[in-house]
Structure 1
Amino acid sequence: MPEPKTHKITGISLSNEPFEKYFRMFGILRQSKDRSQWPAETLYAAPYKPLLLLSILDLLEQGIIKTNLIELCQELGELFTLYCSKVLAPEKIGNIGMPFYHLTGDGFWQLIPKPGLENLSSEKNSASGLKKVLIGAKFDDELFNLLVIKEVRDAFRRLLIQKYFLESIQQKLLELSQVNKAVFEYSENLLKKPSQNLNIKEVAGSSVDYVKQVRDQAFRKAVVKAYEHRCAICGLKVITAEGHTAVAAAHIVPWSISKNDSVTNGIALCHLCHWAFDEGVTGISTHYTVLASEQLTLSGNAPGVFLMMRDRPIFKPDINERLPDIEALNWHRKNVFKRL
């Protein structure tokens, strides 16, 4: 009996009819095409469906998606935004609600409405609107059972990148999927060992800035997660329906000096509090209370909330091992915080 032929790209047996069926469907996604609206990098077509699917494949790879339920979660929104930033101009903001809804027209994706909220007509173009009425979405069960296999995920990822994006950026998108996996693994390790400055495992053939990308993104991811997206100084917590968060991760002792990405050398801060902490007009005491510099009271200043927050406890991580390192805070008070 002759050996069954294999797919020339994936090496998967052509006798696998479900694979061939869905591989073909992933290659003919319905897209809006307009040379005046979309760049050459996306072959002059809306890239949102393939970018959403690439983001979902990454969450499957990371083990965040474990069942055939895809929710409009913060992790999915973050990855989708990251992929969009690689192929679209900064002013072209990706709306994850559009592909999440419109993938229903491609034959393998179904929305799961909340009971009694089956009418989506007024919510279909908005992530916040969809979150009000949807539990999430699902693939055909047959397709999901294929996508849990790494070799199949890799094949579908290559197809999406080769089919819908200009050759000059295909390697960048493939590497991004590697970076996303490394970021997830490294950030989880940082959270498990919050006081340790861990090494990043390099990937053969990666670009020179691979380690920097992983380090920057994993540090931010780990610290923001440790503080549950809440600013340690003012307590602000806002996550949009698209998965964008109001806080970022700040090094207490700057990376340029410490070379230290441990969670305990980080603190989650909103943009205003981040600026104030870096400028030294705020600080944190050894008792984890907010310090406010007397410079805030100089003539012409209107310090507002910073003086109101003086001597208040910071908003801490739930796990004590993730609290800011006392020696790092001492360094900040000695070298950055302005007494007057």
Structure 2
Amino acid sequence: MLNPPFTFPSIRQDTNRSTWTEETLGRAPYKPFLLLAVLDLMDAGRITENRIVPDEDLTDAFMLYWNAILPDRLRPSIHLPFFYLQTDGFWVLHPLSGKMLPATEPSSWKNVRERYAFASLDEAAFELLQNPLTRATARLELIRRCFVPALEKPLLELAKTQVSAFNYADKLLRETPAAYEKPVEKPVRDQAFRRVIVKVYDHRCALCGIRIISPDSRTVVDAAHIKDWAVSHDDSPTNGLALCKLCHWTFDSGLVGFDDDYRVIVARSITRDGNLPGHIQQFAHRPMILPERECYYPATENLAWHLQRFKL
């Protein structure tokens, strides 16, 4: 017997046309992006029970859509749809144990995590969405209802990339990652590698130690390959470093590296030609900020390759 079709009920959206463009039909896309993210997490096997946890996976899934469709436009405030979807009749908020259910809007994503254990869908809706074909139909209907036709294909491609990236990230996080076998699409690789490296370094720069996560869950660090992917075809955590913007540029420019003992080497050239390297020189001989698990430590052969490449 075929499952009955499912579509999300009508959702309330801000309709300030001076803020929202024709791409989103003049309406705020917060709720559609969050629902698309939930469907992606179901497809990736991240949501198997009727518990939508306000965790890093949900943040990453939401941000993929925001950054692709509305880059650098307003704040990607995921806390707003997580709270306000409860007004649409199929989304229920569940407070943390021992806490009352607040009536006021949360101030940030951090505030959401301080308040709520999870959200859940209407039970009948959740049961229907267990079927992959039903999810695909619900996704397509939601996209067609909330975005211009020109965005249908890009949004469907983003969903495909999202699920593939979650699966590839799982593969990379194994203690003994599988050897490189066949090309993985660059958008999938980039997203998965970033997710893995930021996770294993807990958002902390391996060189300077800075760790900042904004109220809307943006992180200060990038994911950097130690041995260039074009040379190594290696996205494993042992070929990656979490580095802030300045340290990333400094590392990629060969101005700093790490020895076999994970201590910082600073290039002598950094002080030439009137440069004022500021705090960079202070890192010389300091230990790298390493991941918590040793299996994710940078491979010394990769660090040696970087030193040799730049003659450090």
Report Cα offsets for 1:169-205 as digits up to 9, x if no partner. Answer: 101101111111111111211222447334346xxxx
Is the CA contact 2:203–2:212 (under 8 Å) kept in the aligned structure 1?
A: yes
Is the CA contact 1:197–1:260 (under 8 Å) kept in the aligned structure 2?
A: yes
Cα distance in 1 for residues equivalent to 2:170 and 2:65: 21
Given candidates 198, 222, 243, the residue that maps to 1:224 is 198
Tell me by how many angstroms 1:34 deviates: 3.1
**SS of the residue 1:196 aligns to:** coil
Tell me by how many angstroms 1:316 deviates: 2.0
Report Cα offsets for 1:49-105 as digits up to 9, x if no partner. Answer: 111000011112222223222222122112212112232252233211111111111
- Segments of 5+ residues of structure 1 without an aligned counterpart are 5-11, 202-210
Higher CA-based Rg: 1
**SS of the residue 1:120 aligns to:** coil
> What is the total number of aligned residue pairs between the two structures?
310
2:258 paired with 1:284: yes
Given candidates 219, 240, 245, the residue that maps to 1:266 is 240
Partner of residue 123, structure 2: 141
Q: 1:190 corresponds to which letter in structure 2?
A: L
Given candidates 140, 143, 146, the residue that maps to 1:164 is 146
Given candidates 219, 232, 239, the residue that maps to 1:245 is 219
Q: TM-score, normalised by structure 2?
A: 0.89
2:57 paired with 1:83: no
The percentage of aligned residue pairs carrying the same residue is: 38
Cα distance in 2 for residues equivalent to 1:326 and 1:195: 19
Partner of residue 206, structure 1: none
Cα distance in 2 for residues equivalent to 1:116 and 1:232: 37
Given candidates 15, 18, 24, the residue that maps to 1:33 is 15
Given candidates 108, 112, 121, the residue that maps to 2:94 is 112
Alignment of 1:176-191 (within 5 A): 176-191=158-173
Given candidates 126, 136, 146, the residue that maps to 1:154 is 136
- Segments of 5+ residues of structure 2 without an aligned counterpart are none
Runs of at least 4 residues off by over 6 Å: none
Partner of residue 44, structure 1: 26
Partner of residue 289, structure 2: 315
**SS of the residue 2:119 aligns to:** strand
Partner of residue 197, structure 1: 180
Given candidates 112, 131, 144, the residue that maps to 1:130 is 112
Q: 2:60 corresponds to which letter in structure 1?
A: E
Alignment of 1:206-217 (within 5 A): 211-217=185-191
Cα distance in 2 for residues equivalent to 1:195 and 1:299: 45
**SS of the residue 1:187 aligns to:** helix
Tell me by how many angstroms 1:297 deviates: 4.2
